Chain A
Amino acid sequence: MNLNLKAKVQNTYDAIVIGTGISGGWAAKELCEKGLNTLVLERGRMVRHLEDYPTMNLKPWELPYGDRLTPREKNEDYPVQSQTAYAVLQSTKHFFVKDSEHPYNQIKPFTWTRGYHVGGRSLTWARWSFRLSDIDLEANDKDGVGVDWPIRYKDLEPWYDYIETYIGVSGRKDGLKQLPDGKFLPPWEMNCIERHLEQKIAENYTDRILTLGRTSNITQAIGGRSKCLARNLCRRGCPYGAYFSSNAVTLPAAEATGNMTLRPHSIVNEIIYDKEKKRAVGVRIVDAETKQTIEFYAKIIFICASTLGSASILMNSKSDEFPDGLGNGSGELGHNLMDHHFRIGAYATYDGFTDQYYKGRRPTGVIVPRFQNIDTNTQRKDYLRGFSNYGGGSREGYWRAGEEAAFAFGEDYKQRLMSPGQWTFRFNAFGECLPHHDNRVYLDYEKTDSWGQPTLSVDMEFRENEMAMRPEMMSSSAEMLEAAGFKNVQTYDDQTPPGLGIHEMGTARMGKDPRTSVLNRWNQMHEVPNVFVTDGSCMASSPWQNPSLTYMALTARACDYAVDQMKKQNL
Chain B
Amino acid sequence: MSPNQLVDRRKAIKQASLLLGFTITGPALTGVLNGCTPSKVLDWRPSFFTEEEAFLIEAASARILPSGETPGAAEVNAVRFIDQMVAEYYLPEDQVRFRTGMQALEAHSEETAGKSFIKASESEQDTILSEQALTARKQFLDIPDSPQPFFLMLKELTILGFFTSEIGATQFLNFDETPGGYQGCVPMEDLGGKAWAT
Interface set of A (CB-CB < 8 Å, partner B): 59-61, 63-68, 70-72, 75, 188-192, 194-195, 227-231, 354-362, 395, 397-399, 403, 406-411, 414-415, 417-421
Contact = CB atoms under 8 A, between A and B. Distances in A.
A316 B63 CA distance: 62
B164 A360 contact: no
B63 A357 contact: no
B187 A358 contact: no
A360 B66 contact: no
Contacts of A417: 163, 195
Contacts of B124: none
A189 B184 contact: yes
Given A231-B178, A398-B159, A418-B194, 10 more contacts: A189-B182, A231-B177, A354-B188, A357-B187, A361-B196, A397-B195, A398-B195, A411-B68, A415-B70, A420-B196
A414 B184 contact: no
12 contacts: A59-B169, A60-B165, A64-B84, A66-B160, A67-B164, A188-B182, A229-B178, A360-B183, A410-B126, A417-B195, A418-B70, A418-B172
Contacts of B185: 189, 191-192, 195, 356, 358
A355 B191 CA distance: 10
A556 to B, nearest CB: 30
B91 interface: yes
Given A65-B88, A407-B151, A230 B195 contact: no
B190 to A, nearest CB: 8
Given A191-B185, A357-B186, A229 B179 contact: yes
B85 interface: yes
Contacts of A72: 89, 91
Interface residues of B, number: 55
A397 B196 contact: yes
B173 A398 contact: yes
Nearest to A68: B89
Contacts of B19: none
B133 interface: yes
B158 to A, nearest CB: 8
Nearest to B196: A397
Interface in B139-164: 141, 151-152, 155, 159-161, 163-164
Nearest to B76: A61
Contacts of B90: 71
B89 A65 contact: yes
Interface of B: 63-66, 68, 70, 72, 84-85, 88-91, 94, 126, 129, 133-134, 136-137, 141, 151-152, 155, 159-161, 163-166, 169, 172-173, 176-189, 191, 193-198
Contact of B137 (A66, A192, A403): A403
A356 to B, nearest CB: 5
A60 B179 CA distance: 15
A12 B151 CA distance: 66
A409 B169 CA distance: 18
A418 B68 CA distance: 13
B188 A189 contact: no
B188 A409 contact: no
B181 A229 contact: yes
Across the A-B interface, give the 8 residue pairs with the lowest CB-CB distance, nearest first.
Answer: A360-B179, A360-B182, A189-B184, A191-B184, A420-B195, A60-B164, A362-B182, A409-B64
Nearest to B186: A359
A358 B88 contact: no
A408 B155 CA distance: 9
Nearest to A396: B195
B169 A61 contact: yes
A59 B166 contact: yes
A420 B173 CA distance: 10
Contacts of B136: 407
Q: Which of A66, A68, A230, A362 has the largest number of chain B CB atoms within 10 A? A: A66
A233 to B, nearest CB: 9
Contacts of B187: 355-357
A164 B99 CA distance: 56
B151 to A, nearest CB: 7
Contacts of B89: 65, 68, 70-72
B179 A192 contact: no
Contacts of B64: 409-410
Contacts of A415: 70
Contacts of A408: 133
B188 A357 contact: yes
Nearest to A194: B184
Contacts of B63: 409-410
A407 B137 contact: yes
A372 to B, nearest CB: 28
B180 to A, nearest CB: 5
